[in-house]
Homo-oligomer: A and B are copies of this chain.
Amino acid sequence: MVVLGIDPGITHLGLGVVEVEPKGTLKARLLHGEVVRTSHKEPAQERVGRIHARVKEALARFHPEALAVEEQYFYRQNELAYKVGWALGAVLVAAFEAGVPVYAYGPMQVKQALAGHGHAGKEEVALMVRGILGLKEAPKPSHLADALAIALTHAFYARLGAGKPL
C-alpha cells in the first residue's frame, strides 16, 4: 500500500510517500520526501497554486491509494489556522482531481500508532519512523518527518480497517 502523507503548512508543507508492506509487523519503504516552501512575499494564489501543483505531481507519480494529513488544532491563532487552511484546500483539490481519498489523524493518534502510547515525545516518534522505514538517520527536516509519521499512521489504521476519513 502506497500512502502520501502531508504535514500541512503555508510556509512549509511536508510531503512524504511510503510503501507499506501489507502484512506482519509494520515495515515500509521511503519512496519520496520533500518540503514545499512558500514566502509571504509571494501573492497568495502563487503560494497555494504551487502547493497544489506539487501535490498533484506527487499523486500522478506515485499513485498512492490514500492521502493522510495531520489534524490541526489551533489555539488563539485564527490567522494561522486560516492560512494553513488555504494549503489544505490546495491539497484537497489535488486529491479530489486524482480521485484519492483523504484521511486525517490527530497528534495523539500518531503517537499512539507509532510509539504505542499517546504521550510519546517527538524524538520517540522520529525514532520509530526511522526504524519502520529502515533509515540510517531520522528524516529531516521536521516537516518531512511529520509527513512520514502521518503516512505511516494511516497505514497502521488502514491495516486494521479503521482509517479515519477527513
> Looking at the complex, which of A21-29, A76-84, A127-135 is the stretch in contact with chain B?
A76-84
Q: Which of A144-166 contact B (CB under 8 A)?
A: 165-166
Is A1 in contact with chain B by the CB < 8 A criterion?
no
Q: Which of A49-105 contact B (CB under 8 A)?
A: 49, 52, 72-79, 81-93, 95-97, 100-102
The reply to whether B93 and A49 form a contact with Cβ atoms under 8 Å apart is yes
Closest to A86 in B: B89
Given A43-B102, A45-B100, A88-B89, 12 new contacts (CB under 8 A)? A45-B92, A48-B89, A48-B93, A49-B93, A49-B95, A52-B93, A72-B82, A82-B85, A87-B89, A89-B89, A89-B92, A90-B92
Contacts from A to B (Cβ < 8 Å)? 43-49, 52, 72-79, 81-93, 95-97, 100-102, 165-166
